[in-house]
Amino acid sequence: MKPMKIGMVGYGGIGRVHAMAYRSLLFHYGLPADAVQIVGVATTRRESAQKAAAEIGCGFYTDDFRELLAHPEVAIIDCCTPNASHQTILTAAAEAGKHLYCEKPLAMGMADGRSIVAAAERAGVQTQLTFNFRFFPAVQRARQLMQDGFLGRVFSFRGRYYRSSYIDPAKPLSWRLRKAEAGGGALADLGSHVLDLLVFLLGEFGSVQATLDTLIRQRPVAQGSQEMGAVDVDDIALLHLRTADNTLGLVEISRMGTGATNDLVIEIFGERGALRFSAADPSWLEVYDVSDPASPLGGMRGFRRVETVQRYDGAKVPDWTMAPDFVRTHAECQYQFLKALNDGRTPTPTFRDGLHIQAVIDAAVRSSEAGRWVSLDEI
């Protein structure tokens, strides 16, 4: 692989995960130390940028992302900033001729999303969105089975993503709880992931009927403050969806799932079998095959656990028998992006893929407000 030079914009929690994943993929694939390099970082404060550069081990830092775009070595911009800044940063980076890698969701809404996609396509740069969960080997195996027609006709599907991150009413307001900065709540934050997994396996959606709710409507404006501020994004979202081929399914998303740490589950039911994946047990894909003989006459019918563990093609470490984790999926998402750039291929998932998920999110919001099914053609 030719040397890949990356500039990072934003270095909060997810920015640190991206940086860790870039470093680890060198070892996963036995690449030279200079094959993937973060050469600069930009944050909104010079002090935090300097601290980030020291942690990453790069020599360039700035509090103005445009200075990073002008850096002569930077070929790729990795955007890890709050959602409200994506359109400005990604458009400027595209106009500067940089390839674009961005944390989900793509944008604040469809208007911004379309603008970003148009800027990238106009500039002729490559794009990829960080839908990292599709890079679990179990999910890749599920896609292979779907493409092979293992399920036959799909009857229905379910997706669930529950976390308990906001059950404490004393947890203060942050950008994720403000529509002006986040664009949405649990649906955009967590829902974008589970929706992408279902699109990856089933194809695009056609329409949605949704109910969104905010369960804690006021929070302290800062840790320990008595002053309260309004929460104007959703805490929970319940969606009925139809795919483009009219298959009906259900998706539930909540940041108020008491007891749930990172409960991401997808299930697909078909005439010949069923598939189930849980991110809490990522080494396995659960598979049901209708053609298996039924009990009690020696049959083996039932859900079976198919080992997928860490079967990444070409990876040198860890040993394939080891369980994959969250950072490993980020590293694989990055690796596939960089490898596509190296090979002259179009990466995936692209910003256009992210734009479809944005359309589902916007349609769900409209549905909740209007109390009806909304076709994505309306968005």
Same domain, residue pair 93 and 225: no
* Greatest pairwise CA separation for the chain in angstroms: 71
Same domain, residue pair 11 and 45: yes
Residue 54 makes CB contacts below 8 A (sequence gap 6+) with none
Give the pLDDT of residue 292: 86
Closest by CA position to 341, among listed 72, 99, 12, 18:
99
Residues in the chain, pLDDT under 70: 297-298
d(CA 146, CA 12): 37
Give the pLDDT of residue 300: 79
Instruction: Give just the sign of the alpha carbon dihedral 46, 109, 184, 226.
Output: positive
Angle between helices 137-147 and 192-202 (to 10 degrees): 30
Whether 327 is in a domain gets the answer no
User: What CATH number did the domain enclosing 100 receive?
Assistant: 3.40.50.720
- Contact call for residues 285 and 279 (beta carbons, < 8 A): no
311-317 LR contacts (CB < 8 Å, sep 24+)? 311/137, 312/28, 312/137, 314/29, 315/28, 315/29, 316/27, 316/28, 316/29, 316/30, 317/27, 317/28
Whether 79 is in a domain gets the answer yes
pTM of the model: 0.96
Last residue in a domain, options 132, 166, 192:
132
Same domain, residue pair 54 and 119: yes
Same domain, residue pair 114 and 139: no
- Interior CA angle at 330 toward 168 and 139, to 5°? 95
d(CA 335, CA 21): 9
Give the pLDDT of residue 283: 97
- Contact call for residues 63 and 43 (beta carbons, < 8 A): yes
- Contact call for residues 42 and 7 (beta carbons, < 8 A): yes
Closest by CA position to 36, among listed 47, 50, 25:
25
Same domain, residue pair 154 and 179: yes
Instruction: Give just the sign of the alpha carbon dihedral 361, 363, 367, 373.
Output: negative
What is the domain range of residue 185?
134-320+357-370
Same domain, residue pair 191 and 312: yes
* pLDDT tens digits, one per residue of 278-318: 999 999 999 999 998 887 766 778 999 999 999 999 999 99
User: What CATH number did the domain enclosing 158 receive?
Assistant: 3.30.360.10
One-letter amino acid at 373 equals W
HSE-CB of 127 using CA atoms within 13 angstroms? 26
Same domain, residue pair 145 and 70: no
Last residue in a domain, options 86, 109, 132:
132
Last residue in a domain, options 86, 104, 132:
132
